[in-house]
Structure 1
Amino acid sequence: MSDRFVAQSLDEVSFWSRIMKEHSFFLGLGFRCEDTVLKKEADHFYRVFEDIERRVHCFTLDVDPNTIKEFNKEVHSAVCHIWAFKRKVLGLILSCKLPGQTNFPLLVDHVSREANYFRNRLEELNRGQLEPLYDAIIDENVFFLRIMGEHAQFIGHLLDPSERKLAEQARDFSNDFDQLLVQARDIDSMRPQSQTAPILDQFLDQNRVSVKSLRDFKKTARDLIDQCKIKSIIHPLLADHVFREAERFLEIIDMFENSLKGKGRTQEIIHH
């Protein structure tokens, strides 16, 4: 269990610290020139998570679990602070105190939910909290399906209006994930009766098909942006950022499917 704790902790911190760092960068891009205090705060969080990202790669799997537990606590504190910063920014936007800035309110809410997800992962890992496999499957899919649907919405809004075909594809993906999210919430509300291997296996299969299609769409958009072949205001790093999150979701789906096939109903895993 100690080896598993270390491996999962390093994996979570490695992935999500980079995501938090990039959130800081994106928020900073959206502030106005006069928002110097907010820009400095965003720059501060960028440096904090850049340092965490650097340090996590210095650990090996044979590190003392207690060292990782203390590291997780430190990272958790940083995540709590960036979550509070994101919610403060959302409040300023919704109260019309930052007119002319370019961060969508839903985007700021989106990145704050990802911060909340990350800090919950750290808390669960440090507590050694185990969640039944079937519960984890539903919870993770409800979270990530919403994230994927919002990515499609953001892409559609940031493309130039003349990119009609790509914008239409983004809208189609948004509608698809809206439907998948409603279905996932239906399965959630039917718990525990909905928690059967056949139902959850079909649930994962269906989601994988849509996530793979969205992942491929994001990869195409990322490559076209890198090559300056489409018109948009999407930063190349943002295009890669959302692609990596789709890849992450697919890895989680694969992990769950392997667990369904290899483990019984009473088996438990640390909530990924």
Structure 2
Amino acid sequence: MTDEFVDRSLEEVRFWSRIMKEHSLFLKLGFNCDDTKLINEADRFYNIFEDIENRALAFTSDTDPQQIYDFNQVVSNAVSHIWAFKRHVLGLIIQCKILGNNFPLLVDHVSREAAYFRKRLKQLNTGTLDPLPDAVINENVFFLRIMADHAKFINHLLDPSERKLVEQARDFSHDFDQLLFQAQDLDSMRPQSQTQPLLDQFVDQNRVSVRQLRDFKKTAHDLIEACRIKSIIPPLLADHVFREASHFLEILDSFEIALTSSK
């Protein structure tokens, strides 16, 4: 285990523990007031991931790798439990056992992110990160679907009278669905599709679209925070999806650097 293992672990845990914490809050806000057991469970997970986030922020690059390895194991266990909670909530909603304001797709969405986080922790602890050509496709298949979901959520949470923004969100949803389909096609053509020119074009194309979506989310967040548009989107949720787009863009930037250096 090396310093790189420590740095990458802390980067992942700091980012995703905050995301998991906020998922707990968003789910809680979407439950009916009489769903007290689910509300209390969401509160419990909020506190768990807030503690994990604070612990991760207290570590440094000089921390003993074995300590980070053990910490990753603890975090992975917590992520497994919140994943199970999210899937349980999804089942209750789909079976009409609870009502509220949590879209089934949103609950599925946040559970996919928990599964992704858990997988990343396992890869880090076992030293089995994907080779670059596989990572390029796998990360894009995952995050392009996340971005498409975000556009759909924004579309449905804006007031219908915000016609221009609703139209923009709908356009982003369509665009990212198409990008996802292209990524899935590239995935199914592996390994023949993993040529340098194809991967270069793939990353470049997606970076342009993700940057545009990130900028749209930033504008929407600023407008929501200033109470200049009509919606039921909390400012924290707007910031949450903006940070995820920024995170994806950072991954794409790192891919571009790695692909360029491998030529």
- TM class by shorter-chain length? over 0.9
* C-alpha distance in structure 1 between counterparts of 2:74 and 2:192, whole Å: 39
Q: What is aligned with 1:47?
A: 47
Q: How does 1:173-192 map to 2 (within 5 A)?
A: 173-192=172-191
Q: What is aligned with 1:252?
A: 251
- TM-score computed with the length of structure 1 as normaliser: 0.96
User: Offset at 1:132?
Assistant: 1.3
Equivalent position SS for 1:205 = helix
Correspondence 1:128 to 2:127: yes
Q: What is aligned with 1:14?
A: 14
Gaps of 5+ in 2: none
Which amino acid in structure 1 is aligned with residue 180 of structure 2?
A: L
- TM-score computed with the length of structure 2 as normaliser: 0.99
Correspondence 1:193 to 2:224: no
Which amino acid in structure 1 is aligned with residue 188 of structure 2?
A: S
* C-alpha distance in structure 2 between counterparts of 1:29 and 1:159, whole Å: 17
Which amino acid in structure 2 is aligned with residue 24 of structure 1?
A: S
* C-alpha distance in structure 2 between counterparts of 1:212 and 1:157, whole Å: 22
Which amino acid in structure 1 is aligned with residue 141 of structure 2?
A: V
* C-alpha distance in structure 2 between counterparts of 1:200 and 1:84, whole Å: 35
Gaps of 5+ in 1: 265-272
Q: What is aligned with 1:270?
A: none
Q: How does 1:104-119 map to 2 (within 5 A)?
A: 104-119=103-118
* C-alpha distance in structure 1 between counterparts of 2:258 and 2:9, whole Å: 19
> Highest relative contact order (Cα 8 Å, sep 6+), 1 or 2?
1
Q: What is aligned with 1:269?
A: none
* C-alpha distance in structure 2 between counterparts of 1:74 and 1:38, whole Å: 23
| Residues 145-185 of structure 1 deviation map (CA, whole Å, 9 limit, x = unaligned) | 00000000000000001111100000000000000000000
* C-alpha distance in structure 1 between counterparts of 2:3 and 2:255, whole Å: 20
Q: What is aligned with 1:226?
A: 225
User: Offset at 1:90?
Assistant: 0.1
User: Offset at 1:131?
Assistant: 2.0
What is the percent sequence identity of the aligned residues? 71
Equivalent position SS for 1:130 = coil
* C-alpha distance in structure 2 between counterparts of 1:130 and 1:230, whole Å: 43
* C-alpha distance in structure 2 between counterparts of 1:148 and 1:130, whole Å: 23
* C-alpha distance in structure 2 between counterparts of 1:9 and 1:190, whole Å: 31
Q: How does 1:201-220 map to 2 (within 5 A)?
A: 201-220=200-219
* C-alpha distance in structure 1 between counterparts of 2:30 and 2:129, whole Å: 39
* C-alpha distance in structure 2 between counterparts of 1:131 and 1:73, whole Å: 20
Q: What is aligned with 2:60?
A: 60
Q: What is aligned with 2:262?
A: 263
The number of aligned residues is 263
**Deviation larger for 113-122 or 124-133:** 124-133
* C-alpha distance in structure 1 between counterparts of 2:65 and 2:262, whole Å: 26
Which amino acid in structure 1 is aligned with residue 83 of structure 2?
A: W
Which amino acid in structure 2 is aligned with residue 4 of structure 1?
A: E
User: Offset at 1:130?
Assistant: 3.4
Q: What is aligned with 1:87?
A: 87
* C-alpha distance in structure 1 between counterparts of 2:228 and 2:179, whole Å: 31
